[in-house]
């Protein structure tokens, strides 16, 4: 029985996986030190979002000393309620030789997002969303796609205006998370575990070994 319960717990643990991927780069970028910028995303699966990776341009890799982020619900193509925000000092960074750009990778507080629902990701180089004191860092762009156009603010207010310039309408990121099993799948799995456990107990009850064990208790 203990082995069956361990198996059930192992299977029920959702695996970390990519839930949104805009990693293709087109050579353009947008200043996220002096301005604010947000791009939309639609998770491919229900998940607890936990990791953000994005590409950036800067004179030095270390110019990105800290990064602030925010995740918003969608409100008809505009930023809705802020669902999570924070800042990371000294995010993990690296150099992508294929693109000639730097990239950053950092963890965020787990946030439950739904499959097929639109959200917005804001990234800002600084210790807060309104910090413009650091070296210039620009968020690398990707080719236009069928989703909403990125929102910008040429100041330090919340992004509220569509960029609207082809080649600068979408931005690079990869979002990873821990997928959440669909309710029906989880129910079926739990039912299957119970059936297997019941079958094992029934077989045990028919054997002399189990009968002797019960007599000795």
Residue 10 lies in a domain: no
In a shared domain, residues 192 and 153? no
In a shared domain, residues 204 and 100? no
pLDDT, tens digit, 9 for 90 and up, residues 117-154: 999 999 999 999 999 999 999 999 999 988 889 999 99
pLDDT, tens digit, 9 for 90 and up, residues 25-61: 999 999 999 999 999 999 999 999 999 999 999 999 9
In a shared domain, residues 144 and 175? yes
> pTM value?
0.79
**Do you know the residue count of the chain?**
217
Residue written as token pair 């189990």: 210
In a shared domain, residues 155 and 211? no
Q: Which residues have CB under 8 Å from 63's CB, separation 6+?
A: 125, 134, 135, 136, 137
Q: How many domains does the chain have?
A: 2
| pLDDT at 114 exceeding the cut of 80 | yes
Parallel, antiparallel, or unpaired for β 47-57 and 101-113?
antiparallel
- CA 151-154-158 angle, to 5 degrees, is 55
Residue 178 has a CB neighbour count (10 Å cut-off) of 17
In a shared domain, residues 154 and 212? no
Domain coverage including residue 165? 15-179
């Amino acid at each position: 029985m203990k082995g069956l319960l361990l198996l059930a717990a192992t299977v029920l643990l959702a695996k970390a996986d990519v839930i949104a991927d805009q990693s293709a780069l087109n050579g353009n970028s947008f200043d996220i030190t002096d301005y604010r910028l947000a791009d939309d995303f639609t998770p491919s699966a229900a998940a607890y979002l936990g990791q953000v990776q994005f590409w950036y341009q800067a004179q030095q890799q270390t110019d990105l000393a800290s990064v602030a982020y925010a995740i918003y619900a969608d409100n008809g193509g505009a930023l809705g309620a802020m669902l999570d925000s924070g800042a990371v000092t000294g995010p993990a960074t690296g150099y992508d030789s294929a693109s000639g750009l730097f990239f950053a990778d950092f963890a965020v507080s787990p946030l439950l997002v739904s499959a097929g629902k639109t959200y917005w990701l804001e990234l800002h180089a600084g210790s807060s969303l309104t910090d413009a004191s650091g070296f210039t860092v620009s968020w690398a762009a990707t080719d236009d796609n069928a989703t909403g156009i990125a929102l910008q603010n040429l100041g330090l207010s919340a992004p509220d205006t569509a960029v609207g310039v082809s080649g600068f309408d979408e931005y690079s990121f990869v979002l990873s998370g821990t997928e959440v099993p669909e309710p029906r799948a989880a129910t079926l799995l739990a039912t299957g575990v119970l059936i297997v456990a019941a079958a094992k107990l029934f077989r045990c009850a028919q054997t002399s070994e189990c009968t002797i064990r019960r007599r000795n208790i």
